[in-house]
Structure 1
Amino acid sequence: MIGFGAVFLALIATGITAFYYCNHYLATVTRQGRTAGQHNGRIWYIISTGFIGTAAAYLLFIILSDQFQFAYVYSYSSMELALPYKVSAFWAGQEGSFMLWLLFHAGFGLLLLRHSNKSPACMAVYSVLQGLLLIILLAKSPFMMLSEPQMDGNGLNPLLQDPWMVIHPPIVFLGYAGLAVPFAYAMDGLITGGNEYWVKPALAWALFSWSSLGAGIFIGGFWAYKVLGWGGYWAWDPVENSSLVPWLAAGALVHLLLLARIRPAGVKSAYVASLASFILVLYGTFLTRSGMLSDFSTHSFADEGIGGLLAGFVLVSALTATVVLVLKWQELPQGELYPTIKSREFILACTGLVLAVLAILVFIGMSTPIFTALVGNPQNVNTSFYNATTLPLAAAMALLLTIGPVLKKTNQKTNWFVYGGGIAAAVAGLVFATSYGIWNPLIALVIAFCFSSLVSNITAAVKSYITWPAGITHVGVALALIGIMVSSAASHSQLVSFEPGQSQRLFGQKVTYLGKAAAIGEDGFYQKFSIEDDAVLNAITKLNKEGNPAAREPAIYRTIAADLYIAPVLKREGNGGKEAIIRKGEQTVQDGLQLKLLQISMLGGKVSNEEIRIQAALEAAKDGKMEAVNAEMLFKNGRGMGIPVQILDHYEVTLNGVNPNEGAISIRVRNTTTTVQNEQIDVEVSDKPLVNLLWLGTALITFSTLWAGWKRLHIPESTVAGPIKHSSKRAAIRK
Structure 2
Amino acid sequence: MTYTGEHLFPGQLGHFASVVSLVVSLIATFAFFKANRALIETEKKSWLKMARVAFFIEAAAVVTTIGCLYYILSNNLFEYYYAWSHSDKTLQTEYIFSCLWEGQEGSFLLWTFWHCLLGIIVIRKGGKWEAPVMTVVSFAQFCLATMIIGVYVFGLKIGSDPFLLMRQKGILDNAPVFIDQATGLFKQDYLKYLKDGQGLNATLQNYWMVIHPPILFLGFASTIVPFAYCFSGLMNKDHSWTKPALSWAAFSGGILSLGIMMGGAWAYESLNFGGYWAWDPVENASMVPWLIMVAGLHCNLVYNHSKYSLRTTYIFYILSFSFVLYSTFLTRSGILGDTSVHAFTGADMSAQLISFILVFFLPAMYLFFKNKNTMPTVKKEEELYSREFWMFIGSLVLFLSALMIIGQTSMPVFNKIFGTKIAQPEDPKFAYNKIQIFIAFVVGILTAITQFFKYKKSTGKQLAKSLTIPTVIALALTIIFCLIFKLDYYTHGAGFLVAIYLATFSALYAIVGNFSYIVAVLGGKIKTAGASVAHIGFGLLLFGVLISSSKELILSHNTTGIALFEKTDTEDPAENITLFKGVPIDMGKYMVTFMGDSMNTRDKQRVFTIHFKGKTNGEEFTLHPYWLKNNRQQEGYGATPDSKHYWNKDIYTYVSSWQQEGTDTTTFRPAELAVGDTTFYSNGMIVLNKVNVTQSATKMGSDSSMEMGLDMTVITKDGSKFPATPKVLIDKDKASVIADTVLAQGLVIRFNKVLNDKDGKLEIGVKESNSLNDSLTLKVIEFPLIGAVWLGVIVMVIGFFMSVFQGYRKLKQTKAAKQSVS
Q: Contact 1:516–1:676 (CA<8 Å) still a contact in 2?
A: no
Task: After superposing the two structures, state which structure 1 stretch, 352-361 or 688-697, moved more.
Answer: 688-697
Distance of 2:476 and 2:606 partners within structure 1: 49
Gaps of 5+ in 1: 578-673, 725-734
Q: Contact 2:90–2:602 (CA<8 Å) still a contact in 1?
A: no
Q: Contact 1:427–1:448 (CA<8 Å) still a contact in 2?
A: no
Secondary structure, counterpart of 1:293 in structure 2? coil
Which residue number corresponds to residue 790 of structure 2? 695
In structure 2, relative to structure 1, the CA distance for the partners of 1:518 and 1:65 (3 Å cut) is: closer
Which residue number corresponds to residue 271 of structure 1? 314
Distance of 1:254 and 1:65 partners within structure 2: 45
Matched, 1:218 2:261: yes
Q: 2:109 aligns with which of 87, 95, 99?
A: 99
Matched, 1:518 2:599: yes
Which residue number corresponds to residue 544 of structure 1? 630
Q: Contact 1:68–1:74 (CA<8 Å) still a contact in 2?
A: yes
Distance apart, 1:343 and its partner CA: 1.7
Distance of 2:601 and 2:229 partners within structure 1: 51
Q: Contact 1:85–1:166 (CA<8 Å) still a contact in 2?
A: yes
Matched, 1:74 2:135: no
Which residue number corresponds to residue 578 of structure 2? 497
Secondary structure, counterpart of 1:118 in structure 2? helix
Distance of 1:107 and 1:675 partners within structure 2: 63
Which residue number corresponds to residue 470 of structure 2? 421
Q: CA RMSD in A?
A: 2.8
Distance apart, 1:327 and its partner CA: 0.5
Which AA in structure 1 matches 2:351?
G
Task: After superposing the two structures, state which structure 1 stretch, 177-186 or 468-477, moved more.
Answer: 468-477
Distance of 2:772 and 2:602 partners within structure 1: 20
Matched, 1:682 2:763: no
Q: Contact 2:110–2:214 (CA<8 Å) still a contact in 1?
A: yes
Instruction: Note the 1:461-472 alignment, pairs <5 A.
Output: 461-465=518-522, 467-472=528-533
Distance of 2:452 and 2:227 partners within structure 1: 32
Q: Contact 2:414–2:420 (CA<8 Å) still a contact in 1?
A: no
Secondary structure, counterpart of 2:18 in structure 1? helix
Instruction: Note the 1:230-309 alignment, pairs <5 A.
Output: 230-309=273-352
Instruction: Note the 1:93-242 alignment, pairs <5 A.
Output: 93-115=103-125, 118-119=128-129, 120-138=131-149, 139-147=159-167, 149=191, 150-196=194-240, 198-242=241-285
Distance of 1:367 and 1:519 partners within structure 2: 41
Task: After superposing the two structures, state which structure 1 stretch, 457-466 or 150-159, moved more.
Answer: 457-466
Distance of 1:245 and 1:334 partners within structure 2: 28
Which residue number corresponds to residue 568 of structure 1? 655
Gaps of 5+ in 2: 1-11, 150-158, 168-189, 558-574, 614-618, 664-768
Distance of 2:14 and 2:587 partners within structure 1: 56
Matched, 1:477 2:562: no
Q: Contact 2:32–2:134 (CA<8 Å) still a contact in 1?
A: yes
In structure 2, relative to structure 1, the CA distance for the partners of 1:510 and 1:711 (3 Å cut) is: farther
Distance apart, 1:300 and its partner CA: 1.7
Distance of 2:87 and 2:509 partners within structure 1: 50
Distance of 1:575 and 1:280 partners within structure 2: 52
Which AA in structure 2 matches 1:503?
P
Which residue number corresponds to residue 406 of structure 2? 363
Which residue number corresponds to residue 487 of structure 2? 436
Matched, 1:9 2:20: yes
Distance of 2:374 and 2:655 partners within structure 1: 63
Distance of 1:448 and 1:158 partners within structure 2: 40
Distance of 1:242 and 1:575 partners within structure 2: 45
Distance apart, 1:507 and its partner CA: 5.7
Secondary structure, counterpart of 1:195 in structure 2? coil
Q: 2:39 aligns with which of 13, 18, 28?
A: 28
Which residue number corresponds to residue 437 of structure 2? 391
Distance of 1:84 and 1:337 partners within structure 2: 59
In structure 2, relative to structure 1, the CA distance for the partners of 1:723 and 1:370 (3 Å cut) is: farther
Distance of 1:167 and 1:505 partners within structure 2: 39
Q: Which structure has the higher relative contact order (CA within 8 Å, separation 6+)? A: 1
Distance of 1:417 and 1:695 partners within structure 2: 30
In structure 2, relative to structure 1, the CA distance for the partners of 1:153 and 1:721 (3 Å cut) is: farther
In structure 2, relative to structure 1, the CA distance for the partners of 1:515 and 1:199 (3 Å cut) is: same
Task: After superposing the two structures, state which structure 1 stretch, 75-84 or 356-365, moved more.
Answer: 75-84
Distance of 2:78 and 2:291 partners within structure 1: 40
Distance of 2:57 and 2:809 partners within structure 1: 27
Distance apart, 1:310 and its partner CA: 0.5
In structure 2, relative to structure 1, the CA distance for the partners of 1:503 and 1:379 (3 Å cut) is: same
Distance of 1:712 and 1:327 partners within structure 2: 30
Distance apart, 1:94 and its partner CA: 0.5
Distance of 1:568 and 1:308 partners within structure 2: 42
Distance apart, 1:538 and its partner CA: 0.7
Identity %: 29
Q: Contact 1:187–1:321 (CA<8 Å) still a contact in 2?
A: yes
Q: Contact 2:607–2:626 (CA<8 Å) still a contact in 1?
A: yes
Secondary structure, counterpart of 2:610 in structure 1? strand
In structure 2, relative to structure 1, the CA distance for the partners of 1:720 and 1:538 (3 Å cut) is: farther
Distance of 2:642 and 2:311 partners within structure 1: 50
Which AA in structure 2 matches 1:387?
N
Distance of 1:115 and 1:99 partners within structure 2: 24
Q: Contact 1:252–1:352 (CA<8 Å) still a contact in 2?
A: yes
Matched, 1:554 2:641: yes
Which residue number corresponds to residue 626 of structure 1? none
Distance of 2:596 and 2:500 partners within structure 1: 40
Q: 1:459 aligns with which of 505, 509, 516?
A: 516
Distance apart, 1:228 and its partner CA: 1.5
Q: Contact 2:250–2:804 (CA<8 Å) still a contact in 1?
A: yes
Which AA in structure 2 matches 1:538?
H
Distance apart, 1:510 and its partner CA: 4.1
Q: Contact 1:515–1:677 (CA<8 Å) still a contact in 2?
A: no
Which AA in structure 2 matches 1:566?
T
Q: Contact 1:63–1:77 (CA<8 Å) still a contact in 2?
A: yes
In structure 2, relative to structure 1, the CA distance for the partners of 1:111 and 1:546 (3 Å cut) is: closer
Which AA in structure 2 matches 1:436?
L
Q: Contact 1:17–1:124 (CA<8 Å) still a contact in 2?
A: yes
Cα deviation code 1:17-50 (max 9, x no counterpart): 1111222222228x99745212211121112212
Q: Give the TM-score, by structure 2 length.
A: 0.72
Distance of 1:506 and 1:410 partners within structure 2: 59
Distance apart, 1:73 and its partner CA: 1.2
Which AA in structure 2 matches 1:190?
L
Q: Contact 2:537–2:794 (CA<8 Å) still a contact in 1?
A: yes
Distance of 1:337 and 1:497 partners within structure 2: 69
Q: Contact 1:201–1:720 (CA<8 Å) still a contact in 2?
A: no
Secondary structure, counterpart of 1:485 in structure 2? helix
Distance apart, 1:682 and its partner CA: 2.1
Secondary structure, counterpart of 1:456 in structure 2? helix
Who wins on radius of gyration, i.e. which is larger?
2
Distance apart, 1:515 and its partner CA: 2.7
Secondary structure, counterpart of 1:525 in structure 2? strand
